[in-house]
Structure 1
Amino acid sequence: MARTHQALSYNDIRDAVDCIAGAVRPVTLAPVDPGAIPSSGVGQCQVWLALEFMQFSGSVKLRGAQNLVSTHREDATLPTAGLTIACAGNAGLACAWAAKTTATRAAVFVPATTPTRRIDELQALDADVRRAGVLQSEAEAACRDYAASSGALLVDASQDRLFAAGLGTLMVEIHQQIPDLDTVMVAVGSGGLLTGIATAASHFGVRTVAVEHEDHCGLHVALELGPVVEIGIDLIAADTLEARRVSAMALDAAQRFDVRSILVSDNDIAAARKALWEHRRLMVEPAGATALAGLLTGAYTPEPGENVCVVLSGANIDQWSPPFRQPDYPR
């Protein structure tokens, strides 16, 4: 039966848990050793790292893509033409992975400037990669035209409730392992992950802290100004968080569940990546370390005894890249 909820609910997430069971890797949680990461934000509390960058396809986005594809197949609403998405990053990789494992066609639209490595990764998953324009907005327009002409399912990872519900399954798994969790910290781009995490966290009575890059803070601005606003795009370290706007779904979840919003800088993110490398030899993309940056800078300071889980998602990096060096981005 097709889902008709107007806003994401915990029941949607419970449905997703059943739907993706066996199709994703269960999250691994690792405790931060006391004193291992010196910071004003880490005092007399327990911090856990949710290592979701070890998920199939390299990010939590697979949970959303798997739930979307599997649910449409179950409901007999998946077109013969398959699905299409405009994204060369983690959402595109996740959709390509979910499509391949369910024998579904996937057309992924990317700007002509997309690095060859990302194209190779998508094609290795049998995705039909189509270059369109120079800007992301041009790729999105071409993707919409393709969906209209082919009948393919148009995927918007930031707005789709099935996608967000799948992402929320991560919080269910975290709570199963840490039933006395007080706070979960998550990075925000366009807001799909925030929607799922905040919805599930609220059900368990867990506080959600949303961490954004200071130059791409659509949620932070929207919480202050009210409407969903569009922001300019500059090059930042956490390039997978470069969303022009936070989704209406994410803003609604943030307001309903009293999500706390904090900001970090490129340097903060670089320091968090360095801390992960020095503490556990973990290499994550900048977006994957953004939530931790919010803790290490003291932008969010836990209370003594507080149980905090930080979501690390995103392994979309070159294997030869230094794990924490900050490149020079043009401004």
Structure 2
Amino acid sequence: MTTSTILPTPADVRRAAGRIAPYARRTPVLRATVDGRPLVLKLEQLQLTGAFKLRGALNALLGGARPDRVVTASGGNHGLAVAAASALLGLPATVYVPESVPTAKARRIEAVGASLVRHGTTYAEAAAAAVEFADSSGARYVPAYNDPLVVAGQGTCAAEVVADEPAVDALVVAVGGGGLAAGTVLGAAGRTVVAVEPAGCHSLHDALAAGRPVDSPVDSVASSALGATRVGDLPFELLGSARSVLVSDDEILAARDRLWEEFRLAVEPAGAVPFAAWLAGAVPGELACLIVCGANTDWRPA
């Protein structure tokens, strides 16, 4: 199993958009005013599989030779995306997840027909086992974020925002391993990109401080989606110009609850991370777009 280190470009994002168009949804944007300020929400939680990850998974599988079998590792959302993309393309898939994977995500991975393997306590441990399986079986390993095709696929989300709402001057995105944020840099057409992480789960923030990817602690209410212990080498190369912001778990949960109260949007904590930064006044510009990136949770009425 090898991963290319060639950096993707905006042209790769445009090619990705053409590849995935028959399968992925073009999710809507919503203009709104909150606390007297305008904003745009990119409703990516309405994507097939409930998160942006399907974009990168599809582009990875469509951008090269067709594999016989697919394997990946995930905290949940990427695994579901690879499982769904494989099913759409008629490919068998195996998904490794940490033992702490949320039930809602594990259930959905199995529901689309993938084999689910629980291994280890962290994403990194699950990923090591998945890579070992790929090397021994010859299966195609689809990285969650450290891959040019995956990053280019994720960039199609920002490219849609720019096309649909050209007045947007900043795009705000949650960061785990960095794939969506890096793709957003490529798709943003020069606009400011704000990369937001939980205060207890901040691999990009630590990497920017160190000047290179480093191991980082994982302890957040949003860790099932944003729990990478180290930002990807490839995303890090693209994220040097991004503005790094940290938000607390309390701010994340308050933002999640407000998305429900204000807009009736039911999202997982990671999906509310950009809104938390915007509510805290940490986002520059006159009209920001917040990418509401995921909703893979089991909703229970109060």
TM-score relative to the length of structure 2: 0.94
The separation in 2 between residues aligned to 1:248 and 1:162, in whole angstroms, is 14
Partner residue, 1:300? 283
The separation in 1 between residues aligned to 2:200 and 2:99, in whole angstroms, is 24
Q: Give 3-state SS (helix, strand or coil) of 2:26's partner.
A: coil
Picking from 184, 197, 209, the partner of 1:224 is 209
Structure 1 residue 284: deviation in Å?
Answer: 0.4
Q: Give 3-state SS (helix, strand or coil) of 1:243's partner.
A: coil
Larger Rg: 1
Contact 1:238 1:290 in 2 (8 A): no
The separation in 2 between residues aligned to 1:88 and 1:23, in whole angstroms, is 23
Q: Give 3-state SS (helix, strand or coil) of 1:295's partner.
A: helix
1:248 aligns with 2:233: yes
The separation in 2 between residues aligned to 1:117 and 1:290, in whole angstroms, is 20
Contact 2:75 2:227 in 1 (8 A): no
Partner residue, 1:105? 92
Structure 1 residue 6: deviation in Å?
Answer: 1.4
Contact 2:75 2:225 in 1 (8 A): no
Identity %: 38
Please give the residue correspondences for 1:1-331 in structure 2 after superposition, counting only pairs within 5 Å: 6-33=6-33, 37-38=34-35, 43=37, 46-72=38-64, 77-80=65-68, 82-201=69-188, 204-255=189-240, 258-302=241-285, 306-320=286-300
Contact 1:238 1:285 in 2 (8 A): no
Q: Give 3-state SS (helix, strand or coil) of 1:32's partner.
A: strand
In the superposition, relative to structure 1, how do residues 187 and 134 fare at CA in structure 2: closer, same or farther (>3 Å)?
closer
The separation in 2 between residues aligned to 1:169 and 1:301, in whole angstroms, is 23
Contact 1:27 1:174 in 2 (8 A): no
Contact 2:45 2:294 in 1 (8 A): yes
Contact 2:178 2:235 in 1 (8 A): yes
1:238-268 Cα shifts (integer Å, max 9, x gaps): 531111011122221111xx21111100011
Q: Which amino acid aligns with 2:244?
A: S
Q: Give 3-state SS (helix, strand or coil) of 2:63's partner.
A: helix
Contact 1:271 1:293 in 2 (8 A): yes
Q: Which amino acid aligns with 1:265?
A: S
Contact 1:83 1:155 in 2 (8 A): yes
Aligned length: 300
Contact 2:56 2:152 in 1 (8 A): yes
The separation in 2 between residues aligned to 1:315 and 1:66, in whole angstroms, is 19
The separation in 2 between residues aligned to 1:137 and 1:4, in whole angstroms, is 19
* Structure 1, gaps ≥5 residues long: 323-331
The separation in 2 between residues aligned to 1:26 and 1:216, in whole angstroms, is 30
1:81-126 Cα shifts (integer Å, max 9, x gaps): x110111411000000000000011111123343444332111111
Structure 1 residue 139: deviation in Å?
Answer: 2.2
In the superposition, relative to structure 1, how do residues 314 and 321 fare at CA in structure 2: closer, same or farther (>3 Å)?
farther
The worse-fitting range, judged by mean Cα deviation, of 233-242 and 306-315 is 233-242
The separation in 2 between residues aligned to 1:212 and 1:56, in whole angstroms, is 24
Contact 1:185 1:211 in 2 (8 A): yes
The worse-fitting range, judged by mean Cα deviation, of 133-142 and 192-201 is 133-142
* Structure 2, gaps ≥5 residues long: none
Contact 2:4 2:148 in 1 (8 A): no
Contact 1:288 1:313 in 2 (8 A): yes
